[in-house]
Structure 1
Amino acid sequence: MYSSLVRVQNTFGFFTTVVCVVAALIAATDFLAPRTPSVGVIKPTNVQVVKGRPHYYSPKKEEYAIIKFSLDADLSSLFTWNTKQLFVYVTAEWPSAPGQNATNQAVIWDSIITSPSADHLANLGPIAKKKLIRSAQGKSIDPSRGKLSIRNQRPKYQITHPSGKMAEIEDVVLRVHYNVQPWVGVLTWNQDTDFFKWKAIKKNVSKRFSLPAIKKREEGGARKIDASH
């Protein structure tokens, strides 16, 4: 009954239990660190609707939107010693046709921000990697991590719709999202309400705007957005 195999199994079971308890305690420390993410500016700077093939593999021409934007955000409080990386993305959202209780949502831009301890996971060149390593020396968390200041950013992804129509859509907004990926624990997304020391993200939605009609080729397809809005 008390063979060597049984003793090995008992030891392994005890070790596994200890590891799980320690991992749970590490994950619980995230709730002790305040999270106060905020967005200073999120606004479109140039909106264009084009008719063509949005992707090289698109089988036919359709309308698609290109939205450039500016963003100022402070997400540095999301970085703790247990943060592996932060995934930030911006979506464009607009209501469906009358009578349909749904909201259309499409990602137009995203970025991964690694913590100093996870810089080796980023696909970086030697010069950029040296700068990141130097910025992390002697610091548990680089205070500049998570602070974004982007001007007239071109989107990574165009917006399309199954109907093939994108022109003259109204009540469009841009929304900033984040996803915290820890070393140990569960993934967490931006929240709508405060929870203990974790505060809901502030001012992460832009003012409403409309997508323009498709302009003739000689007139151009872009429409500037007033930067004061």
Structure 2
Amino acid sequence: MYSSLVRLQNVFGLFTTVAFVVAALIAASDFITPRAPTVGTLKTTNVQVVNGRPHYYSSKKEEYAIIKFSLDADLSSLFTWNTKQVFVYVTAEWPSSLSSSSSSATKGGLNTTAENQAVIWDSIITAPSSDHLANIGPAAMKKLRKSAAGKSIDPSRGKLTLKNQRPKYQITYPSGKIAETDNVVLRLHYNVQPWVGILTWNQDRDFGSWKQLQGGLSKAFTLPATKKKATAAGGAKS
């Protein structure tokens, strides 16, 4: 006869096996759910380069860029019943002077090898099932829960419409000089964090029912000289 301890071990072993199989099936379900994120608009609305202290703890003055932008994106297909939250961020990217002068790594007149990358804005979009994790005030939380009542998937969560958005972070460079930098582009990134499964990032190519992010890159522009504002189009090149 089995002792009580052996029976308890068998029950626990069966439970962990079943839990692992269920978790694996949940994680695998993400791969059969279509993803087709798109970006309708991603463009600069105002670009400035200022000579000063970008942070209160900065020890010296240096050049830093302030990039305002507009964004219209539909990431609703990233939200499924297994989505916990989606981390979205916008980067400014530009090649080094050596790469920008090389024609071997260009595509459509734009250098595709961004050796410099800086985040200028980010946001966490929670799914209705994880609203309790959102770092927002009581009033905003009440409104959020009311909009998500009775919904396991809320497509409106993944729709972003930003007009003349101020950046959260300024761009600096180790040399302290960043004015008149060429071939700068804005790029949208996302990271899907599921309840069960692996973290997935924005894709460079199609993978089954998961499609590559469409339109997530802005036109190239040049950072202006110090204390000079760019045009409304952000100094975009034709």
TM range (shorter): over 0.9
Q: Is the 2:46–2:234 contact (alpha carbons within 8 Å) kept by the matching residues of 1? A: no
Please give the alpha-carbon distance, in whole angstroms, between the structure 1 residues aligned to 2:158 and 2:235. Answer: 25
150-159 or 15-24, which deviates more: 15-24
Q: What's the CA shift string for 1:138-176, capped at 9, x where partnerless? A: 222122111001000000000011111100000000000
Please give the alpha-carbon distance, in whole angstroms, between the structure 2 residues aligned to 1:150 and 1:213. Answer: 26
Q: Which residue of 2 aligns with 1:39?
A: 39
How far does residue 102 in structure 1 lie from its aligned partner after superposition?
5.9
Please give the alpha-carbon distance, in whole angstroms, between the structure 1 residues aligned to 2:67 and 2:90. Answer: 11
Please give the alpha-carbon distance, in whole angstroms, between the structure 2 residues aligned to 1:160 and 1:99. Answer: 20
Cα 1:227/1:94, change in 2 over 3 Å: closer
Counterpart of 1:27, as a letter, is A
Please give the secondary structure, in 2, of the residue aligned with 1:31: helix
Cα 1:228/1:48, change in 2 over 3 Å: closer
Sequence identity percentage: 73
How far does residue 94 in structure 1 lie from its aligned partner after superposition?
0.1
Q: What's the CA shift string for 1:64-121, capped at 9, x where partnerless? A: 1110000000000100000000100000000013169761000000000101111111
Counterpart of 2:168, as a letter, is K
**Residues matched between the structures, number:** 224
- Confirm whether residue 205 of structure 1 aligns to residue 217 of structure 2: yes
- Confirm whether residue 84 of structure 1 aligns to residue 99 of structure 2: no
Q: Which residue of 2 aligns with 1:218?
A: none
Please give the alpha-carbon distance, in whole angstroms, between the structure 1 residues aligned to 2:44 and 2:181. Answer: 15
The match for 1:194 among 206, 220, 226 is: 206
Cα 1:99/1:199, change in 2 over 3 Å: closer
Counterpart of 1:223, as a letter, is A
Unaligned runs of 5+ in 1: 216-220
- Aligned ranges for residues 141-180 of structure 1 at < 5 Å? 141-180=153-192
Please give the alpha-carbon distance, in whole angstroms, between the structure 2 residues aligned to 1:3 and 1:124. Answer: 52
How far does residue 128 in structure 1 lie from its aligned partner after superposition?
1.6
Cα 1:227/1:164, change in 2 over 3 Å: closer
Cα 1:61/1:48, change in 2 over 3 Å: same
Aligned Cα root-mean-square deviation (Å): 1.9
Please give the alpha-carbon distance, in whole angstroms, between the structure 1 residues aligned to 2:116 and 2:44. Answer: 17
Unaligned runs of 5+ in 2: 101-112
Please give the alpha-carbon distance, in whole angstroms, between the structure 2 residues aligned to 1:165 and 1:140. Answer: 49
Q: Which residue of 1 aligns with 2:104?
A: none
Please give the alpha-carbon distance, in whole angstroms, between the structure 1 residues aligned to 2:206 and 2:214. Answer: 11
Counterpart of 1:4, as a letter, is S
Please give the secondary structure, in 2, of the residue aligned with 1:207: coil
